[in-house]
A and B are shown apart, each in its own frame.
Chain A
Amino acid sequence: MAKEDKFDVVIVGAGITGAIAAKELTEQGFSVLILEAGAGKSFKFEDYQTYLDNYYTSTVRTPNAPFPATAGAPQPLITDQLGIENGIPQFAEGSYFHQVGPSTYQSTYTRQMGGTTLHWLGTCLRMLPSDFSEKTLYNSGKDWPINYYDLMPYYRAAELEIGVSADVDEQAFLGIEFEPSYVYPMNKVPQSYSDLKLQEWTKYAQFKYDGTSYDYSVVSVPQGRNSTPNPAYNNGKGYVPVGAVGNPDIGQRCEGNAACVPICSVQENTMH
């Protein structure tokens, strides 16, 4: 850490958003201080091994199991939620959230350096162009002040930062468009056996909605986890994935650990 006591920018929270903001700012010459209340135990490969040991030895392997809270940064846990009784949500004593409304927040997040990307599933879908004009198109919700095309360069930047795996042709559905030469940094993750079976079984099936018949379409989800780099990325310059923290030789590919959540043991889907 620099010995300065004055910074151009102070960022609160060392999650993916804070980290990317800090990267962009420092690249432009600004000095940045990031404040993180949780433990900064994600810098070394050994730190991840400790996270894994926490996971292995937990009797209840919840999303936060590998990442124990610190006194200064308590965090919401799945086990805080005790269901709803007589219309009133029940929470365990000492829960992080104080929730009194009828529909409670039913998920968790992690307060550590790296944030919730530590136990992130890696789903990187783009929104549909129609999502931005719901009011105009369907008289429901609200229209956004920006549209899909405004967001396209930011989607590109985020997909590079995360190293998203997907196939442009497969993702160009329901109005989603890409720049003519664009490809995702990595090829799509091979679909699972059950996905392929579902695809096969629904090939000739249709469903009816409001008097109209529709075909089923089974496509893979763009993933923030590593498949194989696409050599066509960046006009043929290709893309090189970043390996695990402190051990770049592993994490170049998804190894099928069945543990993206809560912890990828080769860290191919975590934010560095």
Chain B
Amino acid sequence: MNKSMKTKRLLFEELSAVLTGFSLADIQGTGLSSLYLEVFEDKDPDAINNLLSAFEKFDTESGKLSDDDLILISGALEDKYLRPISQQLILMWYTGQWNFGEPDTYVISKEAYIESFSFRAAGSHPAGAKQPGYGTWQFPPQTFLEE
């Protein structure tokens, strides 16, 4: 796809994949990217636009970045303006929450909790949702093999 044809949402999804370590399909599969982008645009439009612009130059579509790209991205994450918004984005995907400290911390929606990546990263499931089924607690823990 031509970069200029990319929607803002797709760019946001690709950026999210790079920053969370989950695949673009995982990100899109949550059905939450539009909502999350809206939250950022509502809370701090300048910050999210700056972050998206900074990432636009990388070819994140394939989900595989060159070493040079990774170095540049690491640099961007050290940037004092881009770092807080990047952290917020990662936390949002992993916790389903807006995390700028009490009393401003809140769960974005019930779906955001249910789809939050922390549970998947732990090989678990969100308590009270996505139940794994009767007797599954007897299975050995899931193991993740290195690719």
Contact = CB atoms under 8 A, between A and B. Distances in A.
| Residues of B contacting A: mostly | loop
A53 interface: yes
A68 to B, nearest CB: 15
B104 to A, nearest CB: 11
Interface stretch (A12-20, A37-45, A73-81, A185-193): A185-193
Nearest to A252: B134
A61 interface: yes
Contact of A255 (B110, B124, B133): B133
Contacts of A254: 134
Contacts of A103: none
Interface of chain A: mostly helix, strand, loop or mixed: loop
Given A255-B131, A256-B132, A56 B137 contact: no
B97 A56 contact: no
A258 B133 contact: no
A167 to B, nearest CB: 15
B29 interface: no
B107 A253 contact: no
B144 interface: no
B136 interface: yes
Interface in B95-147: 97, 105-107, 109-110, 113-114, 124-129, 131-141
Contacts of A253: 134
A57 B133 contact: no
Nearest to B96: A56
Given A190-B138, A253-B134, A258 B125 contact: yes
A234 interface: no
B85 to A, nearest CB: 20
A52 interface: yes
Given A254-B134, A256-B133, A256-B135, A55 B141 contact: no
Contacts of A55: 128
A255 B130 CA distance: 9
Contacts of B141: 193
Interface stretch (A23-31, A203-211, A259-267): A259-267
Contact of B131 (A53, A227, A266): A266
B138 A57 contact: no
A63 to B, nearest CB: 12
Given A193-B139, A258-B124, A56 B134 contact: no
A192 B134 contact: no
Given A59-B107, A263-B128, A265-B128, A255 B134 contact: yes
Contacts of A53: 110
Interface in A50-95: 52-53, 55-59, 61
Given A259-B127, A266-B131, A59 B105 contact: yes
A265 B130 CA distance: 10
Nearest to A226: B134
A263 B110 CA distance: 15
A196 interface: yes
A190 B137 contact: yes
A39 B139 CA distance: 39
Interface of B: 97, 105-107, 109-110, 113-114, 124-129, 131-141
Q: Please name the 8 residue pairs, one residue from A and one from B, whose CB atoms are nearest each other, closest first.
A: A255-B131, A56-B110, A259-B128, A259-B127, A56-B113, A253-B134, A57-B107, A258-B127
Interface of A: 52-53, 55-59, 61, 190-193, 196, 227, 253-259, 263, 265-266
